[in-house]
Amino acid sequence: MERYFFDLTVNDEPDPDTVGSEFASPTQAREEAVKFLAEIVKERLGGRDSYHFIVETRDGTGNLIHRAEARFVGSWLGPRAGELEG
């Protein structure tokens, strides 16, 4: 088992992983990184019209082995909710 680290960046705000997790292979670490990215997007999405999420996976020696990104861009196409009343 080797230790891998998932460094998260949301809208240019880095949150490095200082603990890491052990996985049997780089492929398994990549699969977990993609799941982690999906969870983060689900938890943090809301309140803004633009988000950029990045999870970079490092191995135990600090080498970057994988990068996963997700972007969300929303645009109002008419009056915002609540602005229609009164």
Q: What is the CATH number of the domain that holds 8?
A: 3.30.70
Position 8 in a domain: yes
Is the residue at 63 inside a domain?
Answer: yes
Note down the domain range covering 13.
2-73
For the chain, what is the domain count?
Answer: 1
Predicted structure pTM score: 0.84
Cα within 13 Å of Cα(48), Cβ side? 11
What is the average pLDDT score of the chain?
A: 91
- pLDDT at residue number 45: 83
Q: For residue 85, tell me if it sits in a domain.
A: no
Q: Is residue 81 situated within a structural domain?
A: no
Query: 4-39: per-residue pLDDT in tens?
Result: 999 999 999 999 999 999 999 999 999 999 999 999
DSSP letters for 10-49: ETTEEE--SS-EEESSHHHHHHHHHHHHHHHHHHH--S-S
Domain-embedded: residue 50 = yes
